[in-house]
Amino acid sequence: MSEQANQPERTFWLHVPLESVRGDWLKPPPDGCLTVLGHRCRLFARPLHNPGPDMTGPPMVVRQYLLFDPLPETEALKLLDDLKARMPVLGYTEQIWYRIPGPWTSRNEAHGVYNGPTPSFILSQFEPKPIWLDIHSSSHRFAADLLETKLPACPAVEDERIRTAIDLANASRQDSLPRSIFLSHLTILDSLATRRDRPKNICNWLDEKIADANKLKESGLASALGNLKRESHGTAIKNLIQRAGEAMGESGAQIETRQNLAVKLYAVRSGLSHSGTQTLDPQNVGDACMLARFVIDAAIKCPGVLENNSERE
């Protein structure tokens, strides 16, 4: 056995920056210590110049960071991956903005100085010394409640479709235009709704018509006929809502109400996108947010609701 194999695994401080919007701030416990996902760490604030409630500076910036006690490298890497998988879910469920910047991670094995806005591994024999830029902020949230209690309760979502939908929902919180917020949430529904193939006999009939169109050199008609081989987008949305409602234990009447709401919202979007004469009511924005959130909640609880694979005759 080699000498290197006999050596104990090196340990590293794990530095995890927390990016937030202006006003979001974690109030630490009196001693600053937390136990996050089973690992002890301290919550620090980066140095501020002229701190105060003026809320100046960039809208999203790293204002605080977690410094985990030294861990073996493999364990620290696993912890960082787990934090990155759960943090967007925490931001979504609590309707706040906290995230770990990425995708870069730095390693420092020569000294303790490192780049504060980047997740970093610092060899445990050195004293961690992050380098920062000037920012301003104010205080709002309790770190122990958010990171010790609520973060572990959030599932680590791995499905990229759900993670993308959560990212869109989180990002929409930074929008100020009702139209942008409305369209973002309908885009979330679009991204989660999968169109399934029509029955085989219909697809075979369409294939015959596509062949006829190709003989006539009508490529546009052939393409349009090809699109008909899959169910309509509206049907896919309705099916998605039905699966979500069933996963959340809703009645048939409740599901139908949500499906009718989706039809109404997509008619509004069509008016906004095509005629340009549609007026966007504030209720439309709230309904779109509610419906998208309902589907995301169902997908987090039961990822199978995204699978549109029911048997067709």
Q: Among residues of the chain, what percentage have pLDDT more than 90?
A: 50
Pick from 156, 188, 211: which residue ends a domain? 156
User: For the stretch 120-149, what's the b/e string if a residue is b when 16 or more beta carbons lie within 10 angstroms of its beta carbon?
Assistant: bbbbeebebebebeebbbeeebebbebbee
Residue 205 lies in a domain: no
Domain contains 202: no
Q: What is the pLDDT of residue 262?
A: 95
Q: Which of 49-53, 72-76, 164-168 has the lowest mean pLDDT?
A: 49-53
pLDDT higher for 91 or 137? Answer: 91
Residues 91 and 19 in one domain: yes
Residue 57 has pLDDT above 60, yes or no: no
Cα–Cα distance between 269 and 178 in angstroms, integer?
12
* % the chain with pLDDT above 70: 84
Average pLDDT of the segment spanning 30-59: 75
Name the pLDDT band for 281 (thresholds 50, 70, 90): confident
Does 65 share its domain with 191? no
- For the cut 80, the answer to whether the pLDDT of residue 280 exceeds it is yes
Q: Is the pLDDT of residue 122 over 70?
A: yes
| pLDDT at residue 58, rounded to an integer | 53
Q: What per-residue confidence (pLDDT) applies to 184?
A: 93
In a domain, 171, yes or no: no
Overall average pLDDT of the 252-279 stretch? 86
- For residues 103 and 184, membership in a common domain is answered with no
Q: Which residues contact 65 (CB under 8 A, 6 or more apart)?
A: 15, 16, 17, 18, 43, 44, 46, 116, 130
Q: What is the pLDDT of residue 305?
A: 93
Report the alpha-carbon angle 7-8-11, nearest 5.
Answer: 135
Quickly state the pLDDT bin for 19 (edges 50, 70, 90): confident
pLDDT of residue 54: 42
Give the residue-averaged pLDDT of 267-294.
85
Instruction: Kindly state whether residues 7 and 116 are assigned to the same domain.
Output: yes
Q: Is the pLDDT of residue 135 over 60?
A: no
For the ranges 65-69, 140-144, 150-154, 162-166, the lowest mean pLDDT is seen at 140-144
In a domain, 210, yes or no: no
Dihedral of CA atoms 90, 92, 94, 97 in degrees, nearest 10, equals 80
Average pLDDT of every residue of the chain = 84
300 and 183 within one domain = yes
Q: Any idea of the CA torsion for 304, 308, 311, 313, to the nearest 10 degrees? A: 170
Mean local confidence (pLDDT), 144-162: 94
Q: Which domain holds residue 275?
A: 178-196+231-306
Residue 190 located in a structural domain: yes
Q: Point out the least confidently predicted range of 80-94, 107-121, 198-212.
A: 198-212
Whether 57 is in a domain gets the answer yes
Determine, yes or no, domain membership for 26: yes
The segment with the largest mean pLDDT, out of 29-38, 127-136, 211-220, is 29-38
| 219 in a structural domain | no
